[in-house]
Amino acid sequence: MTVLTLKHANQIIQTALGKARQLNLAPLTIVVLDVAGHLKAMQREDGASMIRQKIATAKAWGAVNMGVSSRSLAGVALQRPDFMNALVDVAEGRIMPVPGGVLIRDKENNLVGAVGISGDVSDQDEQCAIVGIEAAGFFAGI
């Protein structure tokens, strides 16, 4: 199993930010968590609101702890809202069931962490996460 290093995390962030600037997105906050849900790296662009860090973390934390992307969790929220409400309560609010939280998988499909991005439209946040993950040599789990 490949370990998610600080170097990988920073590469994910820098590539995702580059993609965001290319697309002229709103200022982003990007969080990279390891497989245990611990913070590996985080950056908040100038102009991004403070709550974006909590949103990005919740996207990534929910993804890595549930083993599915936050996009998949959004689907669960639509199909089973009572379950999702209970899950958010059990997780003490640390799950955000909207796109932008993407799993990081290695070549053997092992889960090594997750990226959460907040700042623009959720689909755009997710797109930047995928580009960053792939640039670092990993596979995005969406």
Which tens digit of pLDDT belongs to each residue from 61-81?
999 999 999 999 999 999 999
Among the listed residues 123, 104, 117, 136, the one whose alpha carbon sits nearest the alpha carbon of residue 56: 117
Give the global pTM. Answer: 0.95
| Whole-number pLDDT of residue 98 | 96
Q: Which CATH class is domain 6-141?
A: alpha beta
Residue 142 has pLDDT above 90, yes or no: no
Radius of gyration of the chain (CA): 14
pLDDT band at 2, cuts 50/70/90? confident
Instruction: Pull the structure tokens for residue 60.
Output: 């990534």
Domain ranges of the chain: 6-141
| Whole-number pLDDT of residue 23 | 97
Contact 128, 36 (CB under 8 A): no
Neighbours of 106 (CB within 10 A): 16
Distance CA 55, CA 48 (A): 12
